[in-house]
Amino acid sequence: MAETKQHDERGEQGEKPGSRRQCAGCAKRDFADALVRVVLDPADGSLAVDLADSRFGRGAHVHASKECAQKALRGGFAKVFKCKVEGTVESLGEQILDAADRRIEGLLAGARRGKLAISGSDVVRAAYREGTAAMIVVASDAAAAAKLSEIQDAVAQGKAIGWSNKQRLGAIFGRDEVAVCAVLHEGVAKAIGSARLMALPFASAARSEAWWSAEDR
């Protein structure tokens, strides 16, 4: 029975579970979690990014790339929403960056409340060595923490990112400053990684602070 259920969910071609959506830019179909969802404000025709898929109303999807964003703004979004859509690649990219920023902060805060995240270099390093750290997050201004062997290994394994600063991480964990924290839940870690990936194509041009990857420091 378990094998039958898995086959039904994955489809005839062994695809992973998940709904597919069409990119408003390139028109190719992809899994929803590989696309950015945007919704339209009917009052002024402006777009709002919805990475958490929490807003009501009709949405459109687009790959997190400047090329797809440009094509979608030239007509793809108008076709989906059946009305004129205002916006630029730069403004959409900035919205994606802001949305990813808020998404990561919310995921970390929720993980902390659920005791699914820990902070402090000693406990984070121990968790990584024990294999319980699903993802490590290092503050962009924590140069010393970024040089720790466990952190560098986590970066090499794709299990660490740089994000924000020590003061902001500290606020999430109820402390003045936090240099490094770890998420202990695979699902939360995957969601954080997904938000980061959505923002990366737009980060270099729109933000001067290198907080999207520990490798940048």
CA 58 to chain centre: 22
Query: Do residues 108 and 202 share a domain?
Result: yes
- pLDDT at residue 44, rounded to an integer: 77
Note whether 95 and 47 are within 8 A (CB): yes
Query: Do residues 208 and 103 share a domain?
Result: yes
Query: Do residues 80 and 124 share a domain?
Result: no
* Domain boundary pick from 64, 87, 110: 87
Note whether 40 and 57 are within 8 A (CB): yes
Query: Which burial class, exposed, middle or buried, applies to 87 when counting CB atoms under 10 A from its CB (0-12, 13-18, 19+)?
Result: middle
| pLDDT tops 80 at residue 42 | no
Start-to-end Cα distance in the chain: 50
DSSP 123-150: HHHHHHHHT--SEEEE-TT-HHHHTSHH
Query: Do residues 62 and 165 share a domain?
Result: no
Range of the domain at 125: 95-216
Report residue 133: phi and psi, to 5°: -90, 110
Q: What is the CATH number of the domain that holds 187?
A: 3.30.1330.30
| pLDDT tops 80 at residue 217 | no
Query: Do residues 191 and 103 share a domain?
Result: yes
Residue 104, token pair as written in the block: 């990561």
Tens-place pLDDT, residues 108-157:
999 999 999 999 999 999 999 999 999 999 999 999 999 999 999 999 99
Query: Do residues 18 and 41 share a domain?
Result: yes
Query: Do residues 18 and 80 share a domain?
Result: yes
Query: Do residues 118 and 190 share a domain?
Result: yes
Beta strands in 45-85 (DSSP E): 46-49, 59-62
Query: Do residues 73 and 133 share a domain?
Result: no
- pLDDT at residue 53, rounded to an integer: 81
Tens-place pLDDT, residues 46-84:
899 999 888 767 899 999 999 999 999 999 999 999 998
* Domain boundary pick from 87, 106, 126: 87
Query: Do residues 177 and 112 share a domain?
Result: yes
Rounded to 5°, the CA angle 59-54-62 comes to 35
DSSP 180-194: EEEE--HHHHHHHHH
Note whether 166 and 112 are within 8 A (CB): no
Query: Do residues 107 and 148 share a domain?
Result: yes
Domain count, the chain: 2
* Domain boundary pick from 87, 112, 134: 87
Query: Do residues 13 and 80 share a domain?
Result: yes
In this prediction, residue 204 has a pLDDT band, given cuts at 50, 70 and 90, of: low
Q: What is the CATH number of the domain that holds 60?
A: 3.30.1230.10
Residue 160, token pair as written in the block: 């660490």
Note whether 138 and 151 are within 8 A (CB): yes
